[in-house]
Structure 1
Amino acid sequence: MSDRAAARAAKTTLAHRLAGEPGVVGIGLARRASGYVVKVNLADPAAAPRVPGDVDGVRVVTEVIGAVRPL
């Protein structure tokens, strides 16, 4: 179980690690029954293997949402 502060710190670490990675379109926090997780939004499933399963003990989840375009 991760608290919000730990998840925020892990998000910052992961954002630096994944900066510029093709297919990664967003990184945020999500609340789950077990606490907070870092959620990585992907343009396509091919980017998923480059995303670690956890950062500093905080679980990382991925979701393929497609390309992000301005309105």
Structure 2
Amino acid sequence: MTDRAAARAAKSVLVERLSGDPGVVGIGLARRDDGYVLTVELTDPAVGTRVPGVVDGVRVVTAVIGAVRPL
């Protein structure tokens, strides 16, 4: 079970690692039954190959949401 503090620390590492990647449109935390996970929102599925599955023991889940545009 991952607690919030560990997930926040891992998020900082992941943000540093993926910053500047044009296919990543969001990085966050989500609560799941077994604790916290990192979430990465992507523009397309191919970008997912550049996202690690675990960062500092915290599971990373991805979601393809497409390009983000202002309304």
Bucket of the pairwise TM-score, normalised by the shorter protein: over 0.9
Instruction: Output the aligned Cα RMSD.
Output: 0.6
Preserved contact between residue 22 and residue 47 of structure 1 (Cα < 8 Å): no
Q: Distance in 2 between matches of 1:69 and 1:7?
A: 28
Total equivalences in the alignment: 71
Match for 2:15: what amino acid?
A: A
TM-score normalised per structure 1: 0.96
TM-score normalised to the size of structure 2? 0.96
Deviations, residues 25-58 of structure 1 (Å, cap 9, x unaligned): 0000011111000000001101000000000000
> Any gaps of 5 or more consecutive residues in structure 1?
none
Separation (CA, whole Å) in 2 of partners of 1:33 and 1:65: 23
Instruction: Find out whether 1:40 has 2:49 as its counterpart.
Output: no
Structure 2, unmatched stretches of 5+, are none
The residue type equivalent to 1:62 in the other structure is: T
Moved over 6 A (4+): none
Cα shift at 1:69: 1.0
